[in-house]
Structure 1
């Protein structure tokens, strides 16, 4: 059951504040109708039903249960708040001042809790996009036309930022591919991020990111000037195993020796794997692990995600080939966000949002 119409109304009304929105008669009538529907479905589940009917009703009941539970908590808190308010009105003598102070503090805590519960309930009513619950494949690519080494250095910093953010959110961050540059920067990397609501929270990160800074090394103080570079972030929904079926006959699997610095397996064994999907010509590779078998499994995950991306683009025509839009031309005209270190400023150009204290922001 999808409550998209009411969800769209909520999105348009949230700017008026949670309190004003909660008093909306249409919303209250809608919530009461959901409570009645939840009760009706519960009664039906007590009857003998066909397996398909019971399965469909269980799904509807499971969707409505969190809404009804939160609404019940809100009503109980509101009742408790009114009782405290009435008690405060009776506490007028000097001897009762301390008790009145405690009661007012408790009432403030209840009011804060009610606001949080209302916000949580309204979010449940918001329509979810199809892939919001999926895990994600995140790629970073250094800019190819501007900035020189600053692009690779910035790409590494952004990749590290997302890795640290995943750790902060208790998400799983699995590096699938990592191609460093000799200067200590990063040319390209990909990672699989798994956890609750990963794609929903990261999907707007896709696009060209620009950096403006004075390089820390290589220039004297009197010659320092601002350098500009770009890198691209690509975020794709990670499909479930059942979403994409790949015929082994459609694959060409090549092995080669891993490249890069360090590691006993580098340049000594054919542990790196490249997989080409013949019908589409799509190619992926992995050389991070010492095991050819594990590298093959990792490359298959990336390939499955890329093929899934094509399916997403077909189903969601309005996205117009999502990955291509995120990559753009990799130059500054396509930027979605700028990290200006000299002015200690982060700017999101899509929503005209600015944030200071840049060192904390990334």
Structure 2
């Protein structure tokens, strides 16, 4: 591990020297790539520097114990050695996690789909709550969040909502959110004060590019229709909404978010490509038997991954048994700590199973 860290530190200094060269600064594409690598390496180098400092403290404490006769100094050295050895163990664990290679897909953008499950009107309201939670989380992460299509619930919320999220390491954070989310609370529609259990499914799809999906537009039927719902005077008067049907698979994607038919078409096409890409990836994984059965990243639509319990004010992720008692903050987008706990558990599993 030490040799690898030394190599990373050398690479860091090379990148640091290159990034301020005038020809690099003037090339936005190269500068952006180097700057991204610089940020990534700087975190590991900072950990390594702290680790080297701890090793030096251990060495000095041991020298005092070997050479010092005065009992008072020896006692201080013993205390410092005990603390330094504990920190050394912690730092080694942190460095092992930092050296775990990222999933190459972590930096990619996503299509997010949220659908109401069991629970009727309450499930639709909960779907709306999850939509707001992810929207607020995206704002905190400084990501771009765009709605593609919504199907509103009869008593509020949404029966279905599709969005795109773009930004830094979007998939790396959001990949843990796929699965069934469950809520336990007294619905606004409940007259007897009984606690109900409702659910919504979350699907996180990698945003696919033109290269990854060979989509023949001759296989896609395009229909236009009038938008419905909020939108001002143009609603129900202009055919700006788009419905795309992929004839070979039967996949249907709609977009009526904007007033521009062209922009709605581009958004719908993006979602269609992502769904086709997801289907292709799953076929490949099944064919070569490489799909990892991870408790953390299972993300199947039938997997109950998290419960939001209002009477107890808690949110529990069932994959790792992680609970937070700040439900209101979580539903306001404060889910980074939970996602970080899932990431750490996922990395620990990878190390244990020898995947990395």
2:266 equivalent among 297, 305, 317:
297
Is 1:348 the counterpart of 2:348? The answer is: no
Whether contact under 8 Å (2:177, 2:204) holds in the other structure is yes
TM-score, length-scaled by structure 2: 0.68
Structure 2 unaligned residues grouped into runs of 5+ = 16-33, 71-82, 332-356
CA drift of 1:230 comes to 0.8
The range that moved more, 205-214 or 273-282, is 273-282
Is 1:140 the counterpart of 2:114? The answer is: yes
The verdict on how the C-alpha distance between 1:244 and 1:218 changes in structure 2, with shifts beyond 3 A counting, is same
Show CA shifts across 1:222-272 (max 9, x none). Answer: x21111111111111112343223222222111111122442222111111
Q: Following superposition of structure 1 onto structure 2, how do residues 2-81 of structure 1 map, counting pairs within 5 Å?
A: 27-28=1-2, 31=5, 34=7, 69=45, 73-74=49-50, 77-78=53-54
The verdict on how the C-alpha distance between 1:261 and 1:120 changes in structure 2, with shifts beyond 3 A counting, is same
Instruction: Show the counterpart of 1:184.
Output: 156
The range that moved more, 276-285 or 160-169, is 276-285
Inter-partner Cα distance in structure 1 for 2:305 and 2:47? 39
The range that moved more, 237-246 or 205-214, is 237-246
Give the count of matched residue pairs: 289
Instruction: Show the counterpart of 2:248.
Output: 279
CA drift of 1:137 comes to 1.1
The alignment partner of 2:320 has SS state of coil
Show CA shifts across 1:119-144 (max 9, x none). Answer: 6643342133342221111110011x
CA drift of 1:280 comes to 2.0
The verdict on how the C-alpha distance between 1:341 and 1:258 changes in structure 2, with shifts beyond 3 A counting, is same
Whether contact under 8 Å (2:244, 2:252) holds in the other structure is yes
1:204 equivalent among 176, 179, 204:
176
CA drift of 1:168 comes to 0.6
**RMSD between aligned residues:** 4.2
Show CA shifts across 1:87-107 (max 9, x none). Answer: x999x9xxxxxxxxxxxxxxx
Larger Rg computed on CA atoms? 1
Instruction: Show the counterpart of 1:155.
Output: 127
TM-score, length-scaled by structure 1: 0.67
Whether contact under 8 Å (2:206, 2:274) holds in the other structure is yes
Inter-partner Cα distance in structure 1 for 2:163 and 2:267? 10
2:102 equivalent among 106, 119, 128:
128
Show CA shifts across 1:162-189 (max 9, x none). Answer: 0000111111111111221232211111
